[in-house]
């Protein structure tokens, strides 16, 4: 029962003839080669598949593509061309926030989701903001440091 579904991916309208119950995660990876969107747990626990849906952070493994008709999807691949990304990237690099890198796209988006609403977060705010993102390498402290550094470097310009 394929249907044509229209949504905006990274600023461009896309039309897709597919099963509306497919996960947005699979559509992004398999149909649009958006491999920056990772699959970790597939059940909303790990945050590796995070994307922005109408500007809000969501787990793309929990989204049926038929539910996003007309909405805007932004992935890490598009976000990397922004000034905000460059600040977070540099801060993560300086703080040693990246080891294997699998959680990093989700962490970066979660960090931005926090900073654009709360440019001066304390440690509790940061830990809450990344509470849906699992990292098995860093022990989180270095990611928290990276976000603190990004907040300082970004200086409210989110």
Partner 1 sequence: MVKSYHPETLEEALKILVETHCIPYAGGTDLMVRYRQGPGLVPNFDRPVMFIGHFPELTAISEKNGEFSIGACVPYRDIIRHPHTPEILRQACSLIGAPAIQNLGTMGGNICNASPAGDTLPPLSVLDATLTLRSVSGERKVSFLSFFTGPGKSILRDDELLTCIHFRLPHFTVEGYRKVGTRKANALSKIAFAGFMLKEKDMLSDVRIALGAVAPTIVRSRELENRLIGQPVAELAELMPDLLKSYGKLIQPITDQRSDANYRKTVSLRLIKNFVLKEES
Residues lying near partner 1 in the complex (CB under 8 A) are found at 1-3, 19-23, 26, 30, 39, 42-45, 47, 50, 53, 56-59, 61-64, 66-67, 69, 110, 113, 128-129, 131-133
Strand partners, 15: 6
Nearest to 71 by CA among 52, 59, 56, 53: 53
Burial of 2 (0-12, 13-18, 19+ CB in 10 A): exposed
Q: How far is the CB of 94 from partner 1 (least distance, A)?
A: 25
Query: For residues 3 and 93, which CB has a smaller minimum distance to partner 1 in the complex?
Result: 3
> CB 101 → partner 1: shortest distance, Å?
19
* Pick 41 or 96: Cβ nearer partner 1: 41
State in angstroms the smallest separation of the CB of 69 from partner 1: 6
Shortest distance, CB of residue 42 to partner 1, whole angstroms? 6
In the block, tokens 């990274």 appear at 10
């Amino acid at each position: 029962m394929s249907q044509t579904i229209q949504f905006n991916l990274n600023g461009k309208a896309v039309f897709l003839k597919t099963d509306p119950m497919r996960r947005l995660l699979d559509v992004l990876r398999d149909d649009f080669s958006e491999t920056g969107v990772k699959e970790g747990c597939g059940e909303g626990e790990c945050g590796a598949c995070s994307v922005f849906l109408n500007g809000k952070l969501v787990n793309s493994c929990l989204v049926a593509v038929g539910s996003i008709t007309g909405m805007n999807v932004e992935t890490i691949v598009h976000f990397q061309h922004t000034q905000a990304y460059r600040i977070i990237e540099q801060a993560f690099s300086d703080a040693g926030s990246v080891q294997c890198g699998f959680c990093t796209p989700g962490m970066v988006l979660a960090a931005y989701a926090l900073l654009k609403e709360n440019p001066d977060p304390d440690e509790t705010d940061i830990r809450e903001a990344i509470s849906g993102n699992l990292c098995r390498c860093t022990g989180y402290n270095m990611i928290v440091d990276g976000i603190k550094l990004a907040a300082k470097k970004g200086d409210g310009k989110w």
